[in-house]
Structure 1
C-alpha cells in the first residue's frame, strides 16, 4: 500500500482528519493549494476532491475557471494513482484530454475513476475524470493518460 494511502487512512481516523490531509496533500504539489481543494475520497480506482467556489478560482464571468477545474481533476487523479499503483511501479501523467461542457457556476466535485482492466493495460493507463457542480451538472470531463512503469 502506498505511503500516501497509509497517511490518508491515518489522518481520516482523526477528528478533522480529511481537512488535515487535504492541507498536507495540497503541499505535495504546491499548485494544488491554489484551488483550496478538499479531499473527499481516496481508495484504489477512485479519487475525489471538492473545489470550493472562491474568488481565487473564478474567471472574468464569475464561474470556476476551466484550468482550475483541470487542476482539480489532476489532483483527484493523483489520489487515485497513489492508491492504485502497485508498490513496485511508478506513475507519471503523460497527457490530458478534456471537454468543457458547461459553466462551473458552483463548487465542483472532481472525480477520477479506473478499473482493474485499465491498469492491466499498463504502461498506458487511462483515467476517466469529470467535474460536477452541486446540482449534478457535468462541466468538464475527459481522460488523463498515465505512464505506469517498473521502478528502477
Structure 2
C-alpha cells in the first residue's frame, strides 16, 4: 500500500479533523496545491475526489472559480490517485492535460479523477486519467484527461 493511501486511511478514521489534516498535509507536499485549499473526500485506488471551496481568492473576473484553479484541483486529484494506485515497481510523471470548460463554476467544485485497474498493468506507458469538476447542483464545469507516463522503477 502506498504511503499516501496508508496516511489517508489512518487520517480519515479520525472524525471531521482527520480528512482536513490530510488535505493540508497533501497540499504542502506540492505547495501550489494549497492555493485552492483542496478538501479530499474520497481517496482510493482508481478513484479520488476533492472539493475546491468557492472563495474570492480563486475567483476570476466573473466571480466564478478560475479555470486554472479548476485545473489545479484536477491535477491534485490525479496526483493523489496516481500515488494511491500505481504498482510499487512503477513510477509516473504527468505529460499533458486536455480539458474543456463546459459551464460556469458558480459553487464549490468537486474534482474527480478516475482510472481503470487494468490501465496500471498495461505495457503501454501512456496512461490517461479521466478528470472532471462538478458543481454542487451536479453540473459538470470542466472535464478532460491528464496523461501520465508510467514506466518501471530503475
TM-score normalised by length of structure 1:
0.97
Please state how far the C-alpha of 1:117 moved relative to its aligned partner.
2.8
Residue equivalent to 2:9 = 9
Residue 143, structure 1, aligned to residue 138, structure 2: no
1:79 paired residue number: 80
Q: Which whole-Å CA distance do the structure 2 matches of 1:130 and 1:116 have between them? A: 19
Residues 47 and 78 in structure 1, CA contact (< 8 A), matched pair in contact too: no
- Secondary structure at the aligned position of 2:79 is classed as helix
SS in 1 for 2:32: helix
TM-score, structure 2 normalization: 0.96
Q: How many residues matched?
A: 152
In the alignment, is the contact (CA less than 8 A) between 1:39 and 1:48 conserved in 2? yes
For 1:25-62, what per-residue CA distance to the aligned partner results, in whole angstroms no more than 9, with x for missing partners?
01010000000110111110001110000111100110
After TM superposition, which residue ranges in structure 1, 4 or more long, deviate above 3 angstroms?
none
Whole-angstrom CA distance in 1 between matches of 2:118 and 2:70: 27
Unaligned 5+ residue runs, structure 2?
A: none
2:29, 2:125 → 1: CA distance? 24
Residue 31 of structure 1 corresponds to which residue in structure 2?
32
